[in-house]
Amino acid sequence: MNNDGLLDLFVVNYLSWDGSREPDCKFEGKFEYCHPKFYKPTPSQLFINKGNGKFEDISEQAGIRALPGKGMGIGIADHDNDGLPDIFVANDKLFNFLFHNRGNNKFDEVAFETGVALPQNGNFISNMGVDFRDLNNDGLADLAMAALKNETFPVFENNGRGGFTEITARSGITALSDPMSGYSVNIDDFDNDGWKDIFVSRGDVASPNMAVQIQVDQPNTVFRNLGNGKYVAATVEAGFTEQPPRRHRGAAGGDLNHDGKLDLVVTALSAPAEIWMNDSPGHNHWLELFLRGTKSNRDGIGARVKITAEGKTQFNHMTTASGYASSSAGPVHFGLGDAKTADEVEIRWPSGTVQILKNVAADQLLEVKEPQ
């Protein structure tokens, strides 16, 4: 959080629960999950790495503890490109939080000022997982999250002026996601065409007892980015209906078989984990960067990467914070489409060091060490 080369820890807490005081929530005489309104919110926590194997809880002085929430997902990105990572917390049936990092371990909560506290209609929704990455290749981190049926999956586009604009409706995702319930959100370029897509692990919060009334078990979906601000939902096309629908929850992405296409591991309640191997058609090229920090943290978390190939520019950043109750490992992945070479790769390390690589061949996992 403070770019000192030591990884810190941000903990999202959900709610205050006491088993001896559990509300009596039932459906047709059977116990059912209770609405979040029956529980008190709890604040998140920020622990700063002291570098001696110990962490210090600085939640109060950082401005985190004063804001109790019902956090379900967290995204970390430098949304205003000031060199400091900011923290977005997706809250369940409460206002979301965006903690703007102003340095010296101090944060301001700016969700209302930046337009991400609530969706456009002003309703509280059941926010679940979130990812915080650049969707439109303008160098600014955008937000995508999941919720439940009739709440849609909100998408907020970074306007470059310190705020966000909700684009859920004009992107087509309002109509596509309205009948869906989802949990984990993972933004990645799954077809390597140079535009990041949005994967959502799907399933409702309700127990199987409610299946007579709502669709509890659901197939997963990937919203394919068409590159023009529009998305299409590929559920059948992606093969997700070839397995029975389930109450999916966590999801993590990574290239499991080293073919340059990002695969997925998805968990489900009362069911085995699912491994989805990416066999997208076509021969689009790709590049993965395995970052190794020296002055920055070892894994290069927080490093911002810009790639230019055949006149097209993309951005991504190294983070493991995405989805719901999950973590996706590096490396930083780029789809290059028809380009066989990245003309330039620019890495802005958390230490402030800027490293530039020229004429990098595609279709490889390249280890990059931060200059001393």
Quick check: 98 pLDDT over 90? yes
When pLDDT is averaged across residues 243-253 and rounded to a whole number, the result is 97
Strand order, beta sheet including 182-188: 182-188, 197-202, 221-225, 231-234
Quick check: 19 pLDDT over 90? no
Rg (CA), the chain: 20
Instruction: Dump pLDDT digits (tens) for 334-364.
Output: 999 999 999 999 999 999 999 999 999 999 9
Mean pLDDT for the chain overall: 96
Q: Cα separation of 321 and 371, whole Å? A: 25
Quick check: 108 pLDDT over 90? yes
> What's the pLDDT at 356?
98
Residue reference for tokens 């020296």: 294
Q: Cα separation of 150 and 358, whole Å? A: 48
Q: The whole model's pTM is what?
A: 0.96
Instruction: Dump pLDDT digits (tens) for 182-241.
Output: 999 999 999 999 999 999 999 999 999 999 899 999 999 999 999 999 999 999 999 999
Q: Residue 27: pLDDT band by 50, 70, 90 thresholds?
A: confident
* Paired sense of beta strands 221-225 and 197-202, if any: antiparallel
Quick check: 173 pLDDT over 90? yes
What does 128-163 look like in DSSP terms, one character per residue?
--EEEE-SSSSSS-EEEE---TTT---EEEE-SSS-
Query: Do you find a cis peptide bond into 331, omega within 30 degrees of 0?
Result: yes
When pLDDT is averaged across residues 153-181 and rounded to a whole number, the result is 97
> What's the pLDDT at 30?
87
Which residues pair with residue 354 across a beta bridge? Answer: 348
Quick check: 289 pLDDT over 90? yes
> What's the pLDDT at 218?
98
